[in-house]
């Protein structure tokens, strides 16, 4: 019985932590900001990349 309670307490704690993180990301619009940051870095990388034209 004690093991079951400990197991459910750990599961509840893990689910609560994940929910809190996802809620914070959703409320601060951090997912779009992260995608924009990655997109800008990739765009800068590809714009400054040296390309040799082979025709």
pLDDT for 44: 94
**Cα angle: 13, vertex 14, 17; to 5 degrees:** 85
Tokens of 50: 């040296």
Question: Do 25 and 32 contact (CB within 8 A), yes or no?
Answer: no
Quote the pTM value: 0.56
- Asked if the model's pLDDT at residue 48 lies above 80, the reply is yes
**Mean pLDDT throughout 13-34?**
91
Q: For residue 4, how many other CB atoms are within 10 A of its CB?
A: 8
């Amino acid at each position: 019985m004690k093991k079951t309670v400990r197991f459910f307490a750990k599961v509840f704690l893990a689910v609560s932590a994940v929910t809190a993180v996802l809620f914070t990301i959703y409320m601060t619009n951090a997912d779009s900001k992260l995608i924009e940051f990655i997109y800008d870095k990739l765009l800068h990388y590809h714009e400054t990349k040296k390309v040799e034209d082979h025709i």
